Structure 1
Amino acid sequence: MPRTRAPNYLEQMNNGGWRVSVPVPRDLIKVMGKTRLKRSLDTHSHAEAAKRKHAVVAEFLQMIEAARVGRVSHTATEGASVSASTKQDLTSLALDLRSVLQSHDEGTEQHELEKEGIYQVAEQIRGAEIDYDAGTDSPVFDPHKEAKAGDFLRIALGMETPLNEPLELFHSQVKWNARTKSDSTRAMKALENWCHDHRVSFTVEAITRKRAGRFIGDLASSTERPLTNRTINKYLSCLSKYWKWLEVRGYIEEGTSPWSGQSLPKEEPKEDEKERPFTETEISTLLTGEPNQPYLKAVMLIGALTGARIDAIISLKRKDITDDGNIRFKAQKREKASRLVPIHPDLVETLKALTNGKEPDDDLFPECPPVPGGKAQERSMPAVKAFGYYREKRGVSEKVEGKRRGLVNFHSFRRWFITKAYQANQPEIVVQIVVGQKPQSVAAKVYLGGLTQEQLRACVEAVKLPN
């Protein structure tokens, strides 16, 4: 009778290294959630792998027996494959296992079982002892692996929460555009750099209200890379919303955000540094010239006769020019929905040329294609740059020493439209609705219900181009 060959349990990985691979009995697959238990042996030597495998195989077989009598934890099974994982992988695993632990009430048998499993995984990360210290009568472990095990344990037991780990999940759930997510990432990087410089752990628990205040103060006083109060407040808003999300998701206790009420005073520009509308002469100069990018002429005219922002203009499609004589602009900034703006008589021919032969979903300005998802750039950026070049070429410019932005830009068309509408005695609320501003009046909601298409059209047509 032929002898049955003992299982080898060794398996070579794609990178040439060796690992232990123990099959899970069919009747326990559902319990353990795996068909095989695997763990890298951190060696490319077959002979060395053969020596190292025994302890791992014994551990896996013991785990299978524990599962058979109902004493295996989800944590131990999930952590079975842990070996030389990256710090990010270990952090993700620790957060997952913490979630499992916290799903059971403290003091229950299952909670203690999962907690024991977390300690077992930490021991796997630490690895076997490499020496023995006779002076302290204690084993010596690889310091790098021991540090990784300690970090893992603190996170898995809920003692620490690394700040950057849940950030990707936060960004996937929050309704922000790519630019705001980019601001959020920069804010987090600034905080990480500050923590590194001040030897503060980059964890949620380490950011106290006092440290948050110091971080804000250091940003404001930095001479290395000066930031305006506006930029700092934008960072603080991102951090505050992130902490609120951490609170809702149970990462931190309710009402413990260190950013609550933390902000810097709003900086009001000096009288001679305020951005302004175009003058009548500047409007004529821009609209009568020939830009290098021909489509800019239509973009400028729409901006001047609707007060719309450039990104809303560039994003227009054929279907946004309605049959009843309106332009539908997408929601911008704090607008909750798209809005209709009556077509100015001086825009009719331009829009007819832009829409001629196009299907409903065709872009009016294909020269500025949509930006790939996740890229921190607005679709209108090429048009903004092209307009800036054209404006400078036409001599329409007013710069302020020490300031990056001049006093005029494409937004000056919007300021000009609003100014001309007010000069034509148009009601403030009507002007605000046309350009998509939020009315400030207490009675606005009552009055808005009575606005008519005729009122909106009268507002638009009250704005006249220079002769």
Structure 2
Amino acid sequence: MAIPEACRSYFNGTTMYLQSLRTGDIKAAMPRRDKLETEVRELFSRVRAGEVIGSGETIAELRGKLSRAAITEALTEGGEALEDAVWAAEAEADSLRGKARERFTRAIAGDHPADHYLEAYLSAIKLAAKTTNERRGLINRFTRWCVGEKYRLPDITRRAAGRYVTEVIEPMDRSTAKKHMTALRGYWEYLIKRGHVAGSAEDNPWLGQEVANGRRRVERGDNESERPFTEAELKTLLYAPYPKGMSEGFKQQIADALRISCLSGMRLAEVLTLWVEEVHNGIFDIQQGKTRSAARKVPIHPDLSEIIARRLKGKQPKDWLFHELAEERDPGDTFGKRFNNYREKLGVDDKRPGKRRSLVNFHSARRWFITQARHAGQTVETVKDVVGHVSDKKKDITFGVYTQGASEKQMEDCVGAVRLPSRG
């Protein structure tokens, strides 16, 4: 493009403005050319008006906008096209220094809020519904902090990330802080891979922002953690009259899910999302779950036969065993709230000062199963195989590496050794 005479001194006397469109495809080049032409004409207007602009920084910004347009186009194609566009942007960023690099990076990211690409990220990683909602909440919390600090996506440098860690994450409970860091690191890893922010994986501002353990003197009550149900609590949950004020429609699902978990050690999500075809030949054939060890075959306890027969009756293979929860957006969260309401109304609760959650919840049924199996003399290795816990192969070479797990009979014996308390 010809540079107007009044602007040539700004460009060191050059008469033509040259910029590669980074493509050999004429169809791809034309829209890029039109976009760049508009931006260059705007630059000429600002120069004529006497605005002081560092030419190197401005050109870096224009190149950043062009790179962003190329990445946006390549996103629809994926594969090598996207990799090439991101690689070109990274190479461009590496060639710049100081404010020119900063302007280029901001142009790549666009003037967006921190959560601009959040839903695209959550869709791409395909986590369980509960984990997805948890990550959305954590990143939304970070975004609210950014709004208060007037930070946009391009402003999230290592220093800004460090401030957030110090001010917000470090005071949190350790487990919550760890989840928060995992969510932010993962989100930025996605942004970098997709070219929404410039840089390589090592430029992730959340890397190395470890949260201190905060070790301190242990006081009375510090070691209180979530626990199994006591026999009295479980009797109340199993046999007490259904609490007034709760929907009768929840009564059967609560009774059935609680008994299945108590007599199998299965996690809440595993119980609720079973398909009919995964309940066959006397086993719960769990195909997916929280860890690699979660996929397993759990023998069906004899005392569950009535529940299973009733819930299988008249259903198709892909129907849910708990059909009443199949249309819920987050079955685990929905049922969890119902169960907590149920146990609280029955007086089964254990809240402690400084603890957000009760020490008993639906997961206490799984803990109860593990405890009962242990008290019944079942081996640790067999119990782990039944409940889907990961074995530490590094610590236990013999059982972790050289065996194929418990036999069917061992697992059947383990499950059968657990019995629900009687009404008396």
**For the residues of structure 2 that align with 1:462 and 1:436, how far apart are their CA atoms?**
18
CA shift for structure 1 position 426:
1.1
Deviations 1:417-447 (A, max 9, x none): 0011111121112111111111124324335
CA shift for structure 1 position 237:
0.8
Deviations 1:30-56 (A, max 9, x none): xxxxxxxxxxxxxxxxxxxxxxxxxxx
Deviations 1:155-191 (A, max 9, x none): 4356114255554443333232344344444444444
CA shift for structure 1 position 330:
4.3
**For the residues of structure 1 that align with 2:341 and 2:118, how far apart are their CA atoms?**
38
**For the residues of structure 2 that align with 1:235 and 1:298, how far apart are their CA atoms?**
34
Which of the two has higher C-alpha Rg? 1
In the alignment, structure 1 residue 156 sits paired with structure 2 residue 73: no
Deviations 1:238-285 (A, max 9, x none): 222233344545641242223223232468994563111111121122
In the alignment, what sits opposite 2:75? none
CA shift for structure 1 position 326:
0.6
For the 8 Å contact 1:318–1:355, the answer to whether it is kept is: yes
CA shift for structure 1 position 383:
2.1
**For the residues of structure 2 that align with 1:457 and 1:138, how far apart are their CA atoms?**
84
Candidates 228, 242, 258, aligned match of 2:205: 258
**For the residues of structure 2 that align with 1:190 and 1:79, how far apart are their CA atoms?**
39
In the alignment, what sits opposite 1:302? 260
In the alignment, structure 1 residue 77 sits paired with structure 2 residue 28: no
For the 8 Å contact 1:122–1:153, the answer to whether it is kept is: no
**For the residues of structure 2 that align with 1:266 and 1:415, how far apart are their CA atoms?**
26
**For the residues of structure 2 that align with 1:169 and 1:410, how far apart are their CA atoms?**
32
In the alignment, structure 1 residue 236 sits paired with structure 2 residue 181: yes
**For the residues of structure 2 that align with 1:191 and 1:121, how far apart are their CA atoms?**
35
**For the residues of structure 2 that align with 1:71 and 1:300, how far apart are their CA atoms?**
62
Deviations 1:274-303 (A, max 9, x none): 111111121122111344422211111101
Deviations 1:327-372 (A, max 9, x none): 1234222236632100111112221222223222222222212444
Candidates 175, 182, 185, aligned match of 2:126: 175
| Matching residue's letter, 1:216 | V
Q: What is the root-mean-square deviation in Å for CA atoms of aligned residues?
A: 3.5
| Matching residue's letter, 2:181 | L
For the 8 Å contact 2:312–2:321, the answer to whether it is kept is: yes
| Aligned CA distance change for structure 1 residues 79 and 365 (closer, same or farther; 3 Å) | farther
Candidates 366, 369, 374, aligned match of 2:326: 369
Paired residues, what number? 337
In the alignment, what sits opposite 1:216? 165
| Matching residue's letter, 2:340 | G
**For the residues of structure 2 that align with 1:272 and 1:460, how far apart are their CA atoms?**
30
Candidates 224, 228, 242, aligned match of 1:273: 224
In the alignment, what sits opposite 1:407? 359
SS of residue in 2 equivalent to 1:422: helix
For the 8 Å contact 1:230–1:266, the answer to whether it is kept is: no
CA shift for structure 1 position 199:
5.1
Candidates 431, 436, 455, aligned match of 2:388: 436
**For the residues of structure 2 that align with 1:76 and 1:122, how far apart are their CA atoms?**
15
Candidates 449, 453, 460, aligned match of 2:408: 453
For the 8 Å contact 1:192–1:202, the answer to whether it is kept is: no
For the 8 Å contact 2:293–2:388, the answer to whether it is kept is: no
In the alignment, what sits opposite 2:280? 322
**For the residues of structure 1 that align with 2:207 and 2:367, how far apart are their CA atoms?**
34
In the alignment, what sits opposite 2:100? none
**For the residues of structure 2 that align with 1:336 and 1:79, how far apart are their CA atoms?**
53
For the 8 Å contact 1:316–1:329, the answer to whether it is kept is: yes
CA shift for structure 1 position 401:
2.8
| Aligned CA distance change for structure 1 residues 319 and 403 (closer, same or farther; 3 Å) | same
SS of residue in 2 equivalent to 1:328: strand
In the alignment, structure 1 residue 207 sits paired with structure 2 residue 157: yes
**For the residues of structure 2 that align with 1:433 and 1:290, how far apart are their CA atoms?**
35
* Structure 2: runs of 5 or more not aligned: 1-23, 52-57, 68-92, 94-103, 243-247
SS of residue in 1 equivalent to 2:331: coil
Question: What pairs up with 1:35-114 in 2 under 5 angstroms?
Answer: 74-78=28-32, 80=34
CA shift for structure 1 position 234:
1.2
CA shift for structure 1 position 394:
2.0
Candidates 274, 298, 308, aligned match of 1:341: 298
Identity of aligned residues (%): 30
For the 8 Å contact 2:294–2:388, the answer to whether it is kept is: no
* Structure 1: runs of 5 or more not aligned: 1-69, 83-117, 142-147, 373-377
For the 8 Å contact 2:373–2:417, the answer to whether it is kept is: yes
**For the residues of structure 1 that align with 2:62 and 2:177, how far apart are their CA atoms?**
33
CA shift for structure 1 position 230:
2.3
Candidates 347, 371, 393, aligned match of 1:395: 347
CA shift for structure 1 position 306:
0.6
**For the residues of structure 2 that align with 1:437 and 1:429, how far apart are their CA atoms?**
9
Deviations 1:356-404 (A, max 9, x none): 23222222222212444xxxxx313332222222212222112213433
| Aligned CA distance change for structure 1 residues 79 and 170 (closer, same or farther; 3 Å) | farther
**Which of the two has greater helix per residue?**
2
**For the residues of structure 1 that align with 2:286 and 2:347, how far apart are their CA atoms?**
30
For the 8 Å contact 1:183–1:235, the answer to whether it is kept is: no
In the alignment, what sits opposite 1:94? none
| Matching residue's letter, 2:299 | P
